[in-house]
Amino acid sequence: MSVFHHLMPAALRRARHASALLAVAVSLLALPSQAQNSLAERLGYPADTKLLILHADDLGVAHSENQASFSALLAGPVNSASIMVPCPWLPEVARFARAMPKLDLGLHLTLTSEWRDYKWSSTAPRDSVSSLVDSLGYFYDNCADMAKHARLGDIERELRAQIKKALAMGINPTHLDSHMGCLFFNFERPEYLALYLRLGREFGIPAMISQNMIDQFPEMLRKVVGPSDLVVDNVLTATPEDFKGGMPAYYERTLRELKPGVNVLLMHLAYTGSEMQGVTVNHTDWGAEWRQADFDYFNSEACRKTLEEMGIRLITWREVGKLMK
């Protein structure tokens, strides 16, 4: 992922969803202390293979988000997704996960509640994580405000509560990632990233991280990234500028320019009905129309043809996670 920092330059801080900062290529060769083989080779593929995880974020946030994502996962080529445990539509996702135990479903660890009229709070008891919630009891709506108030112990209690609740509901996470990048975009608080990676190791779940972070901040991040952490090559996603230019054009270009190695392409899938319009009111970026456009492209024949034409092989986090066993 790109710059992981909660006190970024002002232009970047204004990007309220971390995915805007993720549209960068990152190398999958792990730290020099790790095995010299690339992750692709460790997975049993030639180093020049174009491997891709097609990953849908935000399951649990709304019924329309769930239904569109379920449809895409069952039909393909979308083959991975991550779940927001604190969100109201979690039970629907858990029922789906129990019915489809072989699907690739991870946890979108959540510390913010970004929408204007649609909010959620902590999974842990609020009085045990009081620094994570505002005066009304909701998560803060951006990573910077969260980090300004949060105590590290409260963050750990909340993340553990989310993982344990998912497990209790029959969800067996194949990976971890971070909603809005709050655990990534805090280079002045490397303890957030260290906690995130430590929880992945403890629970035996790959925590998504990129070589780009290590390249940009090697002195700091080498202290928290360990030899057992799996570092992916490329994490890619559309930005607001890409949305303005049309999602089909962005995704076609991204797939045609995909580099060898293990790549993760993030998208957000939902039906643009009254529910998502209400959830994302006043948010053109990552809003209802954006999510419908993502759904339409990844359910199109054009997408399937491009994947085949470019010789892209789809893999999942479940496959990557076997390297941690």
pLDDT of residue 213: 63
**pLDDT tens figures, 108-147:** 999 999 999 999 999 999 999 999 999 999 999 999 999 9
Cβ distance 171 to 100 under 8 Å?
A: no
Task: Tell the residue number behind the tokens 């309220």, with chain if given.
Answer: 16
**pLDDT tens figures, 37-87:** 899 999 999 999 999 999 999 999 999 999 999 999 999 999 999 999 999
Mean per-residue pLDDT for 162-182? 97
Q: How many angstroms separate the Cα of 143 from the Cα of each of 80, 163, 197, 260?
A: 25, 20, 18, 32
What is the rounded CA–CA span in Å between residue 39 and residue 52? 12
- Domains (range + CATH), the chain: 10-324 (3.20.20.370)
Omega before residue 77 within 30° of 0, cis: yes
Q: What confidence tier does 216 reach under pLDDT thresholds 50, 70, 90? A: low
